[in-house]
Amino acid sequence: MTRGVRAKLVPFMHEKSDTDQPVKCGPFVTISRQYACPGYFLGLLLVDLLNKNEPGEENPWRVYQREILDRLARDTHVPPDELNRLRREPPRMLIDFFRNLSSKAMDGFEVRNRIAELIRHAATEGHVILIGMGGAGATADLENGVRIRLEAPKEWRVQRIVEMEGISSVEARLLLQRHDAEREHLRRLYAMRFPRDPVFDLIYDCSAFSLAQLTQHVLGAMKLKKMV
């Protein structure tokens, strides 16, 4: 069976197989992060290091972040920014039910579901680092992966926003507050759909480690799990 065909047969939304055994796939890494933590940069460094350590591999490591939304946008002909807005919508039950009876428009539930499907497909294919997008929850029942969470004290994140955005600390705090509220809202939505306890395999304090050190930590964990 080819890998592409096998990916399509992976149970979706945590359905169980007849033998009730975890699905074997990967290797993959998911990186969740609080706002202002360097998740994407960690993914880039990790991909660079992995591909240098495995030169000539037929299937090199890749980073997926915005690419998931772009892929869904191509499939649905809905702009990525609109999909990003929809995925943040809370469930509205009867409103969405009657809306869907009379319209083919996508709602937040469907967008999150489709994103999760794309993430699971990528994780099953393997050699991917998935940034955000509910990747930890969507892959909760999949083997051969490691789920990372990046956090940091509020003041550390405020200072990082000031440096990155060139704004005042007051503006940075307001921006942080807004993004933290949005991400907490999304976290709750994904937790309802993809329950896993604990959600993450490793949680790092970004203020305690440099980006290079975080990369080495994650690579070490992957080696311990025999993913590389």
From 147, 131, 145, 138, select the one nearest 189 (Cα to Cα).
138
Task: Specify the CATH architecture of the domain 39-224.
Answer: 3-Layer(aba) Sandwich (3.40)
pLDDT tens sequence across 97-119: 545 544 456 777 888 888 999 99
What's the angle, vertex CA 154, arms to CA 150 and CA 91, rounded to 5? 65
pLDDT tens sequence across 62-82: 999 888 888 888 888 888 888
The structure's pTM equals 0.80
Cα dihedral 172→185→14→201 (10° resolution): 40
Q: What is the pLDDT along the chain (228 residues), one digit of tens a residue?
A: 333 333 332 333 344 444 455 556 889 999 999 999 999 999 999 999 999 887 666 779 999 988 888 888 888 888 888 888 887 776 555 445 545 544 456 777 888 888 999 999 999 999 999 999 889 989 988 999 999 999 999 999 999 999 999 999 999 999 999 999 888 877 777 777 777 788 899 999 999 999 999 999 999 999 999 999
Exposure class string for 134-163: b at 16+ Cβ within 10 A, else e? bbbbbbbbbebbbbbbbbbeeebbbbbbbe
Q: Which amino acid is at 8?
A: K
Phi/psi of residue 119, nearest 5 degrees: -65, -45
CA distance linking residue 172 with residue 156, whole number of Å: 11
For residues 38 and 211, is the Cβ–Cβ distance under 8 A? yes
